[in-house]
Amino acid sequence: MAKGTNQKLKLSYLIKIMLAKTDDEHSLTMPQIMDELERMGVTAERKSIYADFQDMTDKLGIEVIKEQVGRETFYHVASREFELAEVKLLIDAIQSSKFITEKKSRVLIEKIKTLVSEYQAKQLQRQVFIADRVKTMNETVYYNVDDIHSAISSNKRICFKYYRWDINKKLVPRHSGEFFEVSPWALTWDDENYYLIAYDNWDHKIKNYRVDKMMHLSVLDTVRDGKEEFKNFDITSFSKSRFGMYNGEVKKVHIELPNDMCGVFIDRFGKNITFHRIDDEHSELFVDVAVSYQFFGWIFALGKDVKVTGPDDVVDQMKQAAKEFAANYK
């Protein structure tokens, strides 16, 4: 048998064919496999393909199953690095991520679809909806994340320009376009957005920044600060205490609630919170909260049966916020 032009790539092409064109519900016969290889410029005998299947299973962890159906013998890949359900989860995460642009979402999803067969990829495509979702417009966000990780691992500060939306739906720089210089310590995901947790070298405090609002980011040669502040830093507690990642003075807030609403607070603050019984129908809990209008709005949204009962200064702020909200509707 004459050799094909891509003979040295036979095993690579065979793997590609089996992963793309077979799965638990789709198989190929040996003649079909040989035809696919022929299209790629590879000629192969049955015996050599059997040997390649054995190598795929034993050395590469790609198990090829042989099935006899009547007089025909079929072959398909039995196991993959990612199950179909896992790939669906990855695609759902990309679709729901605000910080990933629409363009990048499509590129990433196309790459992820190569983890399954072409038949499964078509099935996934019917479930992909991107166009109507709220997405960032900042294409540099992925490079920002990479640079931030680099700065954290090399113990360096970063500088960047920080942007906000204006009424004309344009991103405009904060602080008259001046560069922010901070010491990065962590990245966290909250409310469908990516945030940098950093030590502000000017205010000498821990702050958070939306990664998709950061542009012109550079890693500096200066060693970062904040080591002592982050020595016992708990990023989970930090995120839970902030509503919409808005900053505010952290207080131990007392909240009274109906017992049937306990799930709302467990979902928000986690299972480590403790409910203190008031009576058969009501309980109280004490949680660390960065006091802000966003927190007050969250409490208001839960209805009149949920109320902040302490400390007194937070109750006073809550009352003032309620008056200000109500004044808009007189």
Same domain, 182 and 213: yes
Question: Is residue 193 domain-resident?
Answer: yes
% of the chain residues with pLDDT over 90: 48
Q: Tell me how many degrees the CA angle 226-99-139 measures, rounded to the nearest 5.
A: 100
Question: Is residue 1 domain-resident?
Answer: no
Same domain, 29 and 59: yes
For residue 21, the domain's CATH number is 1.10.10.10
Domain count, the chain: 4
Same domain, 148 and 213: yes
Range of the domain at 269: 243-327
Question: Is residue 47 domain-resident?
Answer: yes
pLDDT (tens digit per residue) in 207-259: 999 898 999 999 999 999 999 989 888 887 887 777 776 778 889 999 999 99
Question: Is residue 134 domain-resident?
Answer: no
Q: Which of 88-97, 232-241, 277-286 has the highest mean pLDDT?
A: 277-286
- What pLDDT, on the 0 to 100 scale, is given for residue 133? 56
Question: Is residue 188 domain-resident?
Answer: yes
Same domain, 249 and 292: yes
Question: Is residue 145 domain-resident?
Answer: yes
Do the beta carbons of residue 156 and residue 224 sit within 8 Å? yes
Structure tokens, 93: 């995460």
Same domain, 149 and 229: yes
Same domain, 145 and 229: yes
Same domain, 20 and 69: yes
For residue 262, the domain's CATH number is 3.30.70
For residue 183, the domain's CATH number is 2.30.30
Question: Is residue 196 domain-resident?
Answer: yes
Q: Is the pTM of this model over 0.75?
A: no
Would you give the end-to-end CA distance of the chain in angstroms? 90
In the chain, how long is the greatest CA-to-CA distance?
A: 90
Question: Is residue 136 domain-resident?
Answer: no
Do the beta carbons of residue 261 and residue 305 sit within 8 Å? yes
